[in-house]
Amino acid sequence: MAINGNEYPVTRKICVKARMSFATPALLGSGEGENTDNDIIRDGSGNVFLPGSSVAGVLRELLPPKDKEALFGNKDKTMSPMWVLDTELPDAVVIALDGVALDERDRFNKIAKPTSKYDFECVDAGLEFDLRLMLVERTNNHAVKPLFDNVLSALQQGKVRFGGKTNRGFGELKCVSLTGVTYSKAEGTLKNWLDFDWRQPLKPYTPETKYIDTRFDTLTAKLKLDGSIMVRDFKSLKDKEQYAHLTANGMPVIFGTSWAGCFRSWLLKWVPNDASLINEMFGYMDKKTTKPSQIKFLSSYLTATDSAVDGWRTVVRVKIDRFTGGASDGALFTSRPWFGGETELRILYPKNKPQYARLLNVAIEALKKGMLTIGGETSIGRGVFKEATK
């Protein structure tokens, strides 16, 4: 039975504004393909936005089933006491990135289809925006306040990701601030809610409960790039470059897609006896089943540790004739790899899955020893890492 407002009157309303920023590009796809194969979602005026329903869906998944229904409602019984408004992104910088299509003949192993790519739009990293959330507490649902604070704590800890490809590091969030205001019947301030405006100054808000992730454990590895790296970007180029290493918000980045692809390929090659477990971890598709990845590779930014050595360099090389294997007469090409610096690899895997951790640690050790390389042009020494000494 749905809640009757007269039977269960409102006792408190809490309005919270979560100032967030995208730490990595966010794939807020609309399913349309006018500009790329997957365009960003826009409103009728062409402005990028996050639908409140999408935000609520992501936040809902932070909670166990019973708590989900208590805070977000049940379509057959109760309305949601938590309100999530649409989020406007007027200052969004939209970028286009490339992906590699999978060969339908071998989707189980997620093998790339030769000479077949697709592109998609993303909101670039660095954008700040406001999530607007409100809790409506009634006489029969006082227990929802800790759940509301639990969700806000998850936002504060950066545990939330929006959009597509979140298993591969896209849409990662950072919390800039939490501010809010409370209107309470007991304190005689509930009637003032009618004058509330999201643009008014709000006081800092501190969640009373702390979010504890019961879903994933984390593996981390601090790495130093031994030489240079090239994960090709054909869109954000300068001058006469043919390609450059990928960036997000102007910073060199290794997306989770690159980490995952290299880890999966290396493990299938060197630990073939565990192929079924590897496919379970990384996900697969066949004619009857689509199994999503059980592990999450977060994106990694490269930071310079020695400004005199680390950074961008323009490289001019001789173009190779694909038929003869020799140099093409009078042909050169220009690229811009990133040299040196450090990064941190972060992998999330389900709790109580030590078999996943075992295989991932095998690959991480191979990465630290230069046996597992990342990106393109590895035949000329790019994409080699070692363990950071600090």
For residue range 141-158, list pLDDT tens digits in order: 778 999 999 999 999 999
Q: Give the model confidence (pLDDT) of 246-275 as tens digits.
A: 999 999 999 999 999 999 999 999 999 999
Token pair 């990342």: residue: 374
Residue 56 has a pLDDT of 95
pTM score > 0.85 for this model?
yes
311: Cα separation from own chain's centroid: 25
Paired tokens of 167: 């298993």
Distances (CA, A) of 67 to 17, 125, 146: 22, 32, 10
Least confident range from 19-33, 123-137, 175-189: namely 19-33
Residue 108 has a pLDDT of 47
329: nearest Cα among 314, 337, 319: 319
133: nearest Cα among 54, 17, 11: 17
Residue 1 has a pLDDT of 39
What structural domains does the chain harbor? 10-96+121-204 (3.30.70.1890), 215-387 (no CATH)
254: nearest Cα among 222, 297, 299: 299
As a whole number of angstroms, the distance between CA 154 and CA 160 comes to 7
Other residues' Cβ atoms within 10 Å of the Cβ of residue 227 = 15
Half-sphere exposure of 180 (CA within 13 A, CB side): 20
Between 90 and 311, name the one with better pLDDT: 311
CB 170 within 8 A of CB 164: yes
Between 111 and 243, name the one with better pLDDT: 243
100: nearest Cα among 229, 234, 228: 234
Residue 327 has a pLDDT of 65
Reported as a pLDDT band with limits 50, 70 and 90, residue 162 is very high
Q: Give the model confidence (pLDDT) of 21-63 as tens digits.
A: 999 999 998 677 666 677 888 888 888 999 999 999 999 999 9
Residue 118 has a pLDDT of 67
Instruction: Give the length of the chain.
Output: 390
Q: What angle do CA 27, 30, 31 make, to 5 degrees?
A: 105
